[in-house]
């Protein structure tokens, strides 16, 4: 009977240099899975407080620093080699400012930027992810997980608040308890007063988009502070659902369609109507005059009486 014997390879034999990111002139070595990367330490220390702390740990006497050679690389645990290669592509992209990648690639890069505190890479990921159309619930879940700008979620909140269907149990679990409750609160505000039996309208919200956006900002605490530079300014008659990155129209807008712009005649009529109902400020009238009271004329003094007969 033939026996097959398996001789496991040593760790040194399994480790190999990465075919793309083992660079000449690199001054730091990273071990990711079974690949050694040799790249430039400068990018990691410039961008990341996490790496500045880790790479700046003093080396004990008689030992070589971590990351100084293939034999003593700096290990990056719980990181896939494919994801780390995508992350390095941000710094070594041969097309300079053209970053052409899939949504899954950007999410993988975002995860590492979030874990390692690469603030500028995180902003780049946010701008690129905004170019993709993502369903409201997965987008909210993603942005909450990696602490992205909540103002960018206003279109997603708006869609969930104005649609006829409430959040499902699955959606509530994805969003988390706090966000699900805030959305439920906004939906109640959008549907007005409850009926006699306490139930609220199960139909789509009747509020205009601008009013609904104001409610969402108030409930989610998005009113304070300057507006996000990534938000496109709203245009009259379009609403926040036209925000670049997630072109989602509210259910009501999908049914009614866009309203035509006002004609000049309508604008003049509207201005006349506003002027007619606008309360006018009365001019201050002079105080009523008080009739003057005629002063009595003092009696003329009588001439002295001369009596001729004594």
SS3 of residue 143 by DSSP: helix
Place of tokens 């041969």: 94
The predicted model gives 22-48 an average pLDDT of: 97
pLDDT digits (tens, 9 = 90+) for 47-86: 999 999 999 888 888 888 999 999 999 999 999 999 999 9
The neighbour count for residue 19, using CB atoms within 10 Å, is 8
Residue 258 or 89, more confident: 89
Alpha helices in the chain (DSSP H): 11-14, 41-47, 49-55, 81-89, 103-116, 119-129, 136-145, 154-162, 169-175, 177-190, 209-220, 251-256, 264-277
Dist CA 90 CA 212 (whole Å): 38
Contact of 163 with 177, CB cutoff 8 Å: no
The neighbour count for residue 85, using CB atoms within 10 Å, is 18
Share above pLDDT 70 across residues of the chain, in percent, rounded to a whole number:
63
Contact of 70 with 89, CB cutoff 8 Å: no
Confidence (pLDDT) at 247: 40
pLDDT at 118 over 70: yes
**Both structure tokens of 144:** 């909450």
Q: Give me the torsion for CA of 256, 261, 267, 273, rounded to 10°.
A: 10
Compute the mean pLDDT over every residue in the chain, rounded to the nearest whole number.
77
The predicted model gives 160-189 an average pLDDT of: 95
């Amino acid at each position: 009977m033939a026996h097959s014997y398996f001789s496991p390879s040593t760790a040194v034999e399994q480790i190999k240099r990465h075919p793309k990111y083992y660079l000449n002139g690199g001054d730091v070595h990273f071990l990711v899975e079974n690949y050694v990367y040799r790249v430039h330490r400068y990018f990691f220390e410039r961008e990341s407080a996490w790496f500045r702390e880790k790479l700046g740990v003093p080396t004990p006497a008689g030992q070589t620093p971590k990351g100084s050679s293939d034999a003593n690389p700096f290990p990056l645990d719980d990181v896939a080699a494919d994801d780390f290669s995508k992350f390095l592509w941000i710094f070594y992209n041969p097309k300079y400012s053209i970053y052409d990648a899939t949504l899954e690639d950007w999410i993988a890069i975002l995860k590492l930027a979030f874990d390692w505190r690469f603030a500028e890479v995180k902003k780049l990921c946010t701008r690129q992810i905004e170019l993709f159309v993502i369903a409201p619930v997965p987008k909210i879940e993603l942005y909450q997980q990696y602490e992205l700008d909540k103002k960018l979620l206003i279109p997603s909140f708006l869609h969930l608040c104005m649609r006829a269907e409430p959040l499902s149990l699955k959606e509530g679990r994805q969003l988390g308890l706090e966000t699900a409750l805030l959305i439920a609160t906004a939906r109640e505000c959008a549907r007005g007063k409850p009926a006699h039996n306490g139930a609220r309208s199960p139909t789509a919200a009747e509020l205009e988009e601008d009013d609904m956006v104001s409610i969402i900002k108030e409930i989610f605490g998005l009113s304070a502070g300057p507006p996000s530079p990534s938000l496109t300014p709203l245009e009259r008659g379009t609403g926040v659902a036209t925000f670049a990155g997630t072109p989602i129209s509210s259910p009501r807008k999908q049914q009614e369609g866009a309203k035509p712009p006002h004609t000049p005649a309508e604008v003049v009529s509207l201005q006349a109507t506003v002027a007619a109902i606008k309360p006018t400020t009365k001019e201050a009238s002079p105080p009523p005059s008080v009739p003057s009271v005629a002063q009595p004329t003092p009696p003329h003094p009588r001439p002295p009486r001369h009596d001729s007969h004594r």
